Each structure stands twice: as C-alpha cells, then as structure tokens.
Amino acid sequence: MAGFPIRGGVHPEERKLTSDITIMRVPTPGRLILPLKQHIGAPAKPCRVPGEIVYKGALVARGQGNVSAHIHAPCSGYVEDIIDWPAPHPSGLPTKAMVVINDGREIREDVSVPVNPFYLRPEVIAERVAQSGVVGLGGATFPAAVKLTLGQSHRTPVLIINGCECEPYLTCDDRLMQERTQDVMGGISILAQALNGPETIIAIEENKPEAIRLMHKAAEKFGNIRVMPVPTRYPMGSEKQLIEFITGRQVPAGKLSADIGVMLHNIATAYAVNRAVREGKPLTTRIVTVAGEAIVRPGNYEIPLGMLISDLLEFCGLKEDPARIVMGGPMMGQAIPHAGIPVTKGCNGVLAMSAAEVARRVEHPCIRCGTCVDACPMGLSPLTMARLLMRDKLDAAVDIGLKDCILCGSCSFACPSGIPLAHYFNYGKGELVSRAQQKQKDDEIKRLILGRQVRMERQEKEREEAMARRKAEIAARKAAQAAAEQADKPMEVA
Amino acid sequence: MIIPPSSPHIAGPNSVQTVMLMVLLALLPGTMSGIYQFGWPALFLFLITSASAVAFEATCLKIAGKPVSFFCMDLSALVTGWLLAMTLPPWAPWWIGVLGSFCAIVIGKHVFGGLGQNLFNPAMLARTILLVSFPLEMTTWIAPRPFGTPQSLDVSAGWSITANGIPNLDAVSSASVLGHVRTEIGMGHQLPDILVSMYDPVASAVGSISGSLGETSAVLFLLGGLFLMAKKIISWHIPVALLGSVAVLAAIFHLIDPLRYGDPLFHLLSGGLMLGAFFIATDPVTSPVSSMGKIVFGAGCGLLLFIIRNWGGYPEGMAFAVLLMNAATPLIDHYIKPRIYGHEGSAIGRYFRQLKRG
Ligand code: SF4
Ligand code: SF4
C-alpha cells in the first residue's frame, strides 16, 4: 500500500554501518548510576536507602504522580548512595541519581511471575507494563503504561508500530527486528491486545529489507497486523509525519494522536513490553547503537541502564579523542559535555564522532534561498522564525509556528549558509518553558499574596465585628443598667 | 562551562560556496559560446566586469570591517558580475562594465547591508541604471563575428574597441531581433514579413544572432538551467512558471493576431529569456522563499515581461519585470506561506485539499 505524501524532509547520508553487526551483551560494570528521571514526567522517588541490598530487577525508585515511571536495579548488589549527577542534557546540570554497586552475583528478583498474555485484560496489561517501568524507547521516553491507558480511554482503532529508524547511524531497532523477531512480534500483539485489537501497522523504512522480510513473515499468522515499508526519508519516523503518511490525516495542532484514533509505539518499546508482560521482567537494559568514526568496535550493544558512557566507550575502544559525543542519532541527538553520563532509558545511540565527521560549517548570512522552508516537514518558515528569535521576538516567533516545530533539524541540515536554525528553536522553546514556569511561580506568589490579603481582611473584619459586638454589649449593659436605674427611680419617687 | 553544540551534528552537502560554484559552472557553456560569437571585445568586457565586481565587493567588505577573504570566498560577487556581463552589449566600452559592477555591488548590494539583505537583483538593477543613463552604449548591438572567421578581430583591434569604443558604429551595428521587430511593427509592417528577413529559430537557439552574451545561445542556457535543477540548486518553480506564462500568453495572442504577435517559440528563444528564467529570476535573495510564492513570482515575471515586450517602451523587459517582482517579493512572502502541519490553513488551501481528496 502506498502511503500519503508527507511534506519536506531531507536525505542525510545513511551511514548505517552497524546494520549487520549482531547485538552483543555488555558486561555490567561495577558501579551504575541511575538517574531518577529517565522519562517524561515527575522523577521517580527512591524506595531504597543507601546500604540496602538489592537484587537484579528489584524496584529501587517508584514513579510519582500520574506521569512517571518506576526504576529497577539492573544488577544485584547494594545501594551506595543517592547523589547529584550530571544528566544527559546539554547543560550537563546535575539531577538526583541512585548509585548501585554491582556484586556480580546476578541474583534475580523479577517484578512478577511469567504469564500467558493471551488471557490478560487490557487494564492488567497496562498495569504490568507500568510495574516494569517501560517508557517509549524511541527517544520520547513517555511512560508506556500511561500511553496505553490513554489509548484505552480514547477509542484508537489504529496502532502504528514505528520501526522507521530514520536517524542516520542508528541500527538498534533494525537488529532487534532481525534477531529477536518473535519477541518483538509478541510485544506488538500484546500492545494490540491492550488496545482491544486495533488495526496494527508496522512501519519500516525501505532501507531495512531483511527486517521487513522477517517481520512480514512473523506477522502473517496475525489477522490484523501487517508490515508497511515506508520511504527512506528523514524524519519519516517522527510521530506526526508517520501518522500522516499512513493514515493521510494530520494530528491537529495541540491535540494528541489518540484524539484522531491513532496510537504509536516504537519497536524497542514493543520488545520491552513483551519482556515485561510475558516474562515479568522490568526494563533494566536496552539496545544501543555505538558508532562514529572514533570507535574501534562499533556495533549494537545490550547495555545495562546506568552504565557510564565512559565505561561503554572503553569497552568499545576509542581510536582517537572524539570531537563530539552524541547521545541519540546525529540529527536530533544530544551532544554531551563529557563521557561521565549514564546510559538512560531513552538513549538509542552513542556516537563518538571524529572531527572530520561532525558538521563544522562556517556560518554565512542567510541568502533567503528557501531551502529550509522546503525541508521543514511541519510547513514552517525557519528563516523567519530564526530571524525573529535572534532579535528576541519570542511572541512573534510563536505566532508563526514556533510551538509547532518538532526540532527535527532538517532545516539546519539543509541550510547552505550553515545557520544553526534548530538551535534557535530549541532555545526559543526553552524560553517558553521557563516563561511558563515563571508564570506558574508568579501565579503561586499572587495566590499567596491574595490569600494573605483575604486572611488579613477577614481578621480585620472579625476584629471589627468583635469590637462592635463588645461595644454593643457594653451599650446593652449600660442601657440595661440605665433601664434598671430608671426602673428604680419611680420606686424612689414612689 | 562548555555548552556542547546543538543538533543536528551532520550537515547537508550544499554550502553557499558550492551553490555559487554550480551556478558559475552552469553559466560557463553559454558564456563561452557568446564569447566565441563576438570575439575579443566580448571576452575583455566579460573579464573586466567580473573582476571589477569582485574588486568592489572586497572594497565594500573592507570598509564595512568584515573579513574580506572569507566573504569573497562565497563567490556571490563573481556570480553577480558575471550575470551583469551577460546582459551588456558585447562590444560595450570597459567603463560600462566597471560602472555596472559598481552599481550592482555597491548600490545594489552593500548599500542594503550585503549578502542576503538586498531587495533588488543587483545585476538587473545595474543593467537598468546603465540603460537609462547610457541608452546609446547600452543598445549598440553588433552581428556575431565568431573567432576564426574572416570578419573576426585580432586581439589588439578587439582591445581597442573595449578601451576606446567602436570607431565606425554604423558599419557594424545590427539590431537585435526583438529591437528590430519592435521598430518595424511600429512602422506598420507585419510580423511574418519582418521575421522572414532576420529571424531563424535555429540561429536563435544556438546563438548566432546579435544581442548580449546572454541573449544569444538560448539552448546552452537552457541546458545550464536544467543542470542546476538536476543538482537541486534551483527548484523548477520559477523557471517553469516564468517560461510557461510567457508561452501561454504568446500562444493566446499569436492566435488572436498572428500578424502582430510572435508565436511561443519565437518568444521563448528571443532575448534573454532563458538566462533570465534560470539564472536571474531564480536569484535566491530577491525571490520568494516558498514554492508557491516562487510560482507566483515566476508567473508575474512572465506576465510583466510579455507586456513590456509587446506594449512597453523597451524591446526587452526582463530587467524591469524582475525588478518589479523583486519589489513584490516581501509581500508575496508575507501572504503566501506553506500551511503548517495540523493547522487549518487558508480557505483556498482547504478547497484544494478537498479537491485532491476527491
Ligand atoms: S536555508 Fe539557510 S540560507 Fe536558505 S533561506 Fe533558510 S536560513 Fe536562509
Ligand atoms: S527543526 Fe523545526 S523548523 Fe526546522 S525543519 Fe524541523 S520542524 Fe521545521
């Protein structure tokens, strides 16, 4: 089936050099750093104290609030400490993290017993997914169980499984589909079951013929699951673009895909869901593509969460000092300031790029060529937005669509003048967030001030009332006295 | 603290420099053919114009305190000078070239703030200033005298023309096809009779006709333009809209009155239409950024060009048409934008989307 055309996009060199390299398990290092926020939403709250012994798979931090996810120990050993540690964020600012020491004994403690998912009700599936701390593993890190519940409350007749992997370099989803086809398929059928059997479409970019073939074969025995090859074009794997390509409909601005009846999950998420629901195993490892010209042994590695990138790079070997270390793919990944940052749930790639490899283009003035306009999959005018943001006109940029930007980087990639357009949008969106936070704070303060005022007014009023009452009482008493005296007088007279 | 660079961490193949280089490459065959037709003076004028454009660029950058070598490397000034040279009469004196470059680079570009800031196409602005100020020099056309033929000049005679002007004007001058047609029609003659004596589609296509360097070989400039399209340096929107609108208008009027109006082929092959459609109207800085905007821009250029050619005061209207549409570009960019994903868009857009869905 041919899809519906999507707008814009670019064709970066694929460089998927690791697509033939079998997934390999990386030995768990002696010390793991588990950030308490590896997902979208509130950070998890530690439920183990330093010194406490933990087994592999044990719950160590509990998700808080509506949108959050549990975190489990990837090894057996003990909790050493809860500390501040640099997070995978460009600023490298620290967040809370739990340090777990590996005793190497690999004693397991799974969240629950294996079951046959075929007999589970949708809510139970979502519950088991939640218990295992599964989040969107394509990079979005939205808690998978929350998404399932959302899909259950909306009617979602279409489930799209995203196996596009449109980022250059990355091959971890490709390998997963090739090597663990049955497990991935199992996960997909569980997700479908959790959504009451929607029409399920597995989208895979055409540059992965082997994965398409195997998944197609595996899907044959399911009635309503099919594989759909999609054109190789960045950012085909972006949620909104993929939905449009497959369904021909766009997710209206400010709405969720569930609002138009579509649910989207990633291949790696499906795999993790299978392990969680069928085997009762929590999410403690993930498959990561390690690549880049500075790496000696690039490949696809199954890595315990919390392993430091420096340990990982040591394991894979470095030819040279990398010019840039990127977590994720080269188009949307995050450059990290140093290698002392742990692998987290959302990390699908670690790239150690050589100086020759990274784009180091000198910036020229904008020549208004319109390349960025053509490249933008969202139909924005990047040059205009960037010009406004350079002059700090945030509101004007929002007016022409800053909030719709998905930060895919297509515009920056294509710009012949080497203008870091997406960088400005990232900055602008950051400003919007901090502005919203500031507003929340201001509102809070306003509320407090207002509350105090109201309280004081009330107290004042109460005081006045009390005083008035007392006055009234006194007056009444005086009047009574007077009345009594009056009453006495006639007697006297009499 | 070092803030690491933001994504993306890889970049596409095109830089301003490669874009400009491709444009120069695409111009080369047509240019060489033109120089071959008109001999040494044409070569001298071409070199002087291009070199002076680069020199003015360097001077302006120096005055503005910008890094000279860095910006000259972007080759945009060379492209401007080169394009200007393509639109001058090939035997024009040297100072026309230098003055033209001055107008293009200094007035047309740096007064506006340099690369990317100018409203008007610098080469067309310069050509228009020259045409208005020096009508004689700017409308003196000669018949081709290819290298190696008996009429061709030797180096020193060629240099003396560029340096001192054409000595015996009447003996060499020869009207361009469009100019001739306009004069004759003005005198009440009928188009087919006029054309019989001087218009030959093959000669127009390969360029053995009188005119500027860029007005001669329509085919070579067409090929150069197709090369740029294939390399994705320019998109199809402006050239197709421009050539298409000219062709359609020509066809309509030719049907109405063939004795007065030329057929589409005549219009497409005449004047600097190919050069204009592929190399001048497509100047990124001065044309709209969106595809739809580009179509409107191209069609507008074609319409204006056709009007000027047939009813205006000059035989060829490319420069005026482009300048007028340049002025309209900010407006086009403001009103014609792509629809943002997930938004409703304009009523017209909705209508077309519905049509497409059926
Ligand atoms: S691609 Fe770059 S140079 Fe071209 S219009 Fe966009 S920002 Fe300007
Ligand atoms: S980063 Fe934003 S503006 Fe740039 S191409 Fe992607 S969606 Fe468009």
Residue B249 is predicted with a pLDDT of 95
The answer to whether B114 contacts chain A (CB < 8 Å) is: yes
Q: Cβ distance B51 to B165 under 8 Å? A: no
Q: Are residues A81 and A210 in the same domain?
A: yes
**Of A146, A110, A108, which is closest to residue A280 (Cα–Cα)?**
A110
Q: Cβ distance A312 to A350 under 8 Å? A: yes
Mutate to test the pocket of ligand 2, among A11, A380, A385, A404 (most ligand atoms within 8 A of CB): A380
The rounded distance, in Å, linking the Cα atoms of A362 and A364 is 6
The rounded distance, in Å, linking the Cα atoms of B6 and A404 is 19
SS3 of residue A49 by DSSP: coil
Burial B343-358 (b: 16+ CB within 10 A, else e): eeeeeeeeeeeeeeee
Name every chain B residue with its beta carbon within 8 A of the beta carbon of A357.
10
Residue A97 is predicted with a pLDDT of 94
Q: Are residues A339 and A428 in the same domain?
A: no
Domain boundary among A266, A290, A314: A290
The answer to whether B183 contacts chain A (CB < 8 Å) is: no
Inter-chain CB proximity A423 and B340 less than 8 Å: no
Whether A490 shows a pLDDT value over 60: the answer reads no
What Å distances lie between residue B9 and A93, A248, A365, A435, B111, CA to CA? 21, 31, 20, 28, 35
Name every chain B residue with its beta carbon within 8 A of the beta carbon of A328.
7
Q: Are residues A152 and A182 in the same domain?
A: yes
CB atoms within 10 A of CB A40: 16
CB atoms within 10 A of CB A91: 12
The rounded distance, in Å, linking the Cα atoms of A198 and A152 is 11
Out of A334, A359, A415, the one facing B10 most closely (by C-beta) is A359
Best probe of the B interface among A170, A324, A371, by most B CBs < 10 A, is A371
- Residue A484: inside a domain: no
Q: Are residues A265 and A166 in the same domain?
A: yes
The rounded distance, in Å, linking the Cα atoms of B97 and A75 is 78
The rounded distance, in Å, linking the Cα atoms of A200 and A215 is 13
Q: CA B349, B353, B357: angle at the middle one, nearest 5?
A: 170
Q: How far is B245 from chain A (nearest CA, A)?
A: 22
- Residue A285: inside a domain: yes
Predicted TM-score of the model (pTM): 0.87
**Could you give phi then psi for residue A102, rounded to 5 degrees?**
-90, 125
Q: Cβ distance A74 to A304 under 8 Å? A: yes
- Residue A3: inside a domain: no
Q: Are residues A279 and A314 in the same domain?
A: no
Domain boundary among A242, A267, A290: A290
Residue A493 is predicted with a pLDDT of 43
Q: Which residues contact A78 (CB under 8 A, 6 or more apart)?
A: A51, A52, A53, A54, A100, A101, A103
Domain boundary among A242, A266, A290: A290
- Residue A491: inside a domain: no
Q: Which residue has the tokens 């509101």?
A: A395
Q: Are residues A44 and A158 in the same domain?
A: yes
Choose between A426 and B356: higher pLDDT: A426
Q: Are residues A314 and A189 in the same domain?
A: no
| Averaged pLDDT, A41-57 | 92
Q: How confident is the model at residue B285 (pLDDT cuts 50, 70, 90)?
A: very high
Question: A12: buried, middle or exposed (CB in 10 Å: 19+, 13-18, 0-12)?
Answer: buried
Q: Are residues A215 and A145 in the same domain?
A: yes
Ligand nearest to the CA of B6: 2
Query: Based on the structure, what is the number of domains in chain A?
Result: 3
Q: Cβ distance A2 to A228 under 8 Å? A: no
Per-residue pLDDT tens digits for A453-480? 888 888 888 888 888 888 888 888 888 7
Residue B23 is predicted with a pLDDT of 95
**Could you give phi then psi for residue A426, rounded to 5 degrees?**
-60, -45
What Å distances lie between residue B334 and A57, A259, A398, B300, CA to CA? 57, 32, 16, 16
**Of A100, A97, A111, which is closest to residue A37 (Cα–Cα)?**
A97
Per-residue pLDDT tens digits for A174-206? 999 999 999 999 999 999 999 988 999 999 999
Residue A350 is predicted with a pLDDT of 96
The secondary element (H helix, E strand) that includes residue A249 is none
CB atoms within 10 A of CB A298: 22
Residue A404 is predicted with a pLDDT of 95
Ligand nearest to the CA of A404: 2
The rounded distance, in Å, linking the Cα atoms of B65 and B54 is 16
CATH number at residue A387: 1.10.1060
Residue B152 is predicted with a pLDDT of 75
Q: How confident is the model at residue A108 (pLDDT cuts 50, 70, 90)?
A: confident
Q: How far is the CA of A411 from the centre of ligand 2 (A)?
A: 6
CATH number at residue A98: 3.40.50.11540
| Averaged pLDDT, A401-420 | 94
- Helix B16-64, helix B218-230: angle, nearest 10: 100
The mean predicted confidence, pLDDT, of chain B is 86
The rounded distance, in Å, linking the Cα atoms of B191 and B169 is 27
Per-residue pLDDT tens digits for B150-209? 777 788 878 888 887 777 666 566 667 677 777 777 777 777 777 766 667 766 666 667
Q: Are residues A50 and A154 in the same domain?
A: yes
Q: Are residues A238 and A90 in the same domain?
A: yes
| Averaged pLDDT, A364-370 | 92
Expressed as residue numbers, the domain containing A385 is: 362-473
The rounded distance, in Å, linking the Cα atoms of A135 and A305 is 13
* Strands A349-353 and A45-46, sheet pairing: unpaired
What Å distances lie between residue A37 and A131, A141, A436, CA to CA? 16, 10, 21
Ligand nearest to the CA of A386: 1
E runs forming strands in A333-468: 334-335, 349-353
Inter-chain CB proximity B115 and A92 less than 8 Å: no
- Residue A489: inside a domain: no
Q: Are residues A332 and A214 in the same domain?
A: no
User: DSSP of B126-190, one letter per residue?
Assistant: HHHHHHHH-HHHHT--B----TTSTT---HHHHHHHHHH--SSHHHHB---HHHHHHHHHHTT--
**Of B139, B128, B62, B56, which is closest to residue B98 (Cα–Cα)?**
B56
Q: Are residues A126 and A207 in the same domain?
A: yes
User: For chain B, what are the domain ranges?
Assistant: 16-335
Whether the CB of A410 sits within 6 Å of ligand 2: yes
Q: Which residues contact B317 (CB under 8 A, 6 or more apart)?
A: B304, B305, B306, B307, B308, B309
Residue A12 is predicted with a pLDDT of 93
Amino acid at B42: A
Q: Cβ distance A39 to A141 under 8 Å? A: yes
User: Hey, what are A480's tokens?
Assistant: 């009574």
Q: Which residue has the tokens 């291949």?
A: A267
